[in-house]
Amino acid sequence: MSDLIRVVDLEIFAHIGVPDAERRDAQRLLVSLEISIDSFSHAAGTDNPAWTIDYDDVVQHVKNLAAKRARKLLETLAEEMAFDLLKTFPIKKITLEIKKFILPDARYVSVKVERTPGHLSC
């Protein structure tokens, strides 16, 4: 059994893109997370936040990591985020999608990764 915490379309800013000019200014990205944990039952039964994952801490990790350095690829940012979150929090599985608004004829471009603690290889 596992339970799920979702953060949908979190707005972050990152210097990202293949051309140097694209990385010059921070771009708006949207990040969605699905965080699987074993169970909410102990946290819910005790009403104690120590027994679950603090989604505000997760959000701060994501924002800080995005702002840390420039990257060329969304894929790189997604892998780094998944790795960092799995390393930092008791997550059973994470699904992470990053949306970028760069193509004028498309609503967005996105990458999506799904990782478990067994994938800690970043």
Burial of 91 (0-12, 13-18, 19+ CB in 10 A): buried
pLDDT recorded at residue 77: 98
The per-residue pLDDT for range 66-110, each reduced to its tens digit, is: 999 999 999 999 999 999 999 999 999 999 999 999 999 999 999
Query: How many Å apart are CA 2 and CA 102, to the nearest integer?
Result: 36
Q: How confident is the model at residue 64 (pLDDT cuts 50, 70, 90)?
A: very high
**pTM for this predicted structure:** 0.91
Q: Which domain holds residue 54?
A: 3-119
CATH of the domain at 15: 3.30.1130.10
pLDDT tens digits for range 7-38: 999 999 999 999 998 899 999 999 999 999 98
Best CA proximity match to 77, nearest among 12, 5, 22, 19: 12
Answer whether residue 121 shows pLDDT above 70: no
Total domains, the chain = 1
CA distance 6 to 85: 14
